[in-house]
């Protein structure tokens, strides 16, 4: 467990392990940095960093209103704290918006962008409904229900389930609601032409949420090479349900963009 003070003095919690080329992970609302527990083996060759976004785990909320750009700024502050000049940003699900925000705000610090079931905005019916459900349940103080649903959807490993559930329950209801709202309203689609780092898109073959957004990346992120990888036998929850395959893809991409 590591703590640091961000650009505005807010104390934030992060996990890190390993040395070498840094990979920074961005999590979806609620589940926190623990969702990347299965990516720790990458630390044998790389530096793996997962920041708990504001209001998650031991990360303080701070005095400023939550925004995704603020999340990117927190990550930049962490990279400076860790003395990491250039990083590969890896966003899972809504966490992909944080990764995109970082790459757009700090191109000089971005070696590559990985989106695991990611999307630049929310315009499909099924994804809108998923986020509306998160907003509605949070508004009703339903962290316990959300913790049960997300932990069981991601893994059958009892230890990981407990850790995910604990992370969700650590987030105050209004904070969790705000994070879901940020994802529903954010739009990085029009900014994709500004991306300047190689982009890797990773999808579970059965993903019902994110695959519809693949065409947006190919048609708009025209300044950079874009790759797609589909992983068999899984839907949206690639980091926990197909961790070995994901880790192999991430290691290959990291090697391609350079140490």
Domains and CATH numbers, the chain: 2-121+188-257 (3.40.50.1820)
Query: Could you report the per-residue pLDDT of 115-126, keeping only the tens digit for each?
Result: 999 999 999 999
Q: Per-residue confidence at 37, pLDDT binned at 50, 70, 90?
A: very high
Q: Per-residue confidence at 259, pLDDT binned at 50, 70, 90?
A: low
> What is the per-residue pLDDT for 146?
93
Across 3-26, average pLDDT: 98
Q: Per-residue confidence at 1, pLDDT binned at 50, 70, 90?
A: confident
The tokens describing 47, both together, are: 């530096």
Across 126-146, average pLDDT: 94
Pairing mode, if any, of strands 110-116 and 199-204? parallel
pLDDT at residue 233 is higher than 70: yes
Strand order of the sheet with strand 87-92? 2-5, 11-17, 47-51, 22-26, 87-92, 110-116, 199-204, 226-231
Angle between helices 143-154 and 125-139 (to 10 degrees): 140
Burial of 240 per CB tally in 10 Å (0-12, 13-18, 19+): buried
Q: What percent of the chain has pLDDT over 70?
A: 100
CB atoms within 10 A of CB 245: 17
pLDDT at residue 221 is higher than 90: yes
Angle between helices 173-185 and 125-139 (to 10 degrees): 160
> What is the per-residue pLDDT for 110?
99
CB atoms within 10 A of CB 246: 26
- Pairwise CA distance, residues 132 & 124, whole Å: 12
Query: Could you report the per-residue pLDDT of 58-87, keeping only the tens digit for each?
Result: 999 999 999 999 999 999 999 999 999 999
What average pLDDT does the structure give for the chain? 96
> What is the per-residue pLDDT for 258?
80
70 within 8 A of 178, measured Cβ to Cβ: no
Q: Where are the beta strands (DSSP E) in 69-162?
A: 87-92, 110-116
- Pairwise CA distance, residues 89 & 108, whole Å: 13
Q: Per-residue confidence at 143, pLDDT binned at 50, 70, 90?
A: confident
């Amino acid at each position: 467990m590591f703590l640091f003070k961000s650009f505005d003095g807010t104390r934030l919690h992060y996990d890190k392990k390993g040395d070498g080329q840094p990979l920074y992970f961005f999590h979806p609302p609620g589940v926190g940095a623990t969702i990347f527990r299965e990516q720790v083996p990458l630390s044998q060759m790389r530096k793996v960093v997962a920041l708990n976004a504001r209001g998650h785990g031991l990360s303080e909320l701070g005095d400023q209103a939550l925004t995704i750009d603020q999340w990117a700024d927190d990550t930049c502050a962490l990279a400076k704290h860790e003395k990491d000049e250039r990083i590969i940003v890896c966003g899972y699900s809504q966490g992909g918006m944080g990764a995109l925000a970082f790459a757009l705000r700090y191109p000089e610090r971005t070696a590559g962008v990985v989106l695991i079931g990611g999307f630049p905005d929310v315009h499909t019916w099924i994804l809108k409904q998923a986020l509306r459900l998160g907003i509605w349940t949070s508004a009703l103080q339903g962290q316990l229900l959300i913790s049960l649903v997300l932990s069981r959807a991601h893994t059958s490993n009892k230890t990981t389930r407990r850790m995910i559930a604990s992370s969700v329950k650590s987030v105050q209801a209004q904070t969790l609601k705000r994070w879901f709202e940020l994802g529903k309203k954010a739009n990085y689609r029009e900014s994709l032409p500004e991306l300047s780092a190689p982009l890797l898109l990773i999808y579970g073959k059965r993903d019902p949420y994110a695959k519809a957004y693949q065409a947006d990346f190919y048609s708009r992120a025209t300044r950079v090479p874009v790759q797609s990888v589909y992983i068999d036998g899984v839907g949206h929850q690639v980091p926990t349900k197909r961790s070995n395959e994901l880790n192999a893809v991430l290691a290959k991409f990291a090697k391609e963009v350079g140490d």
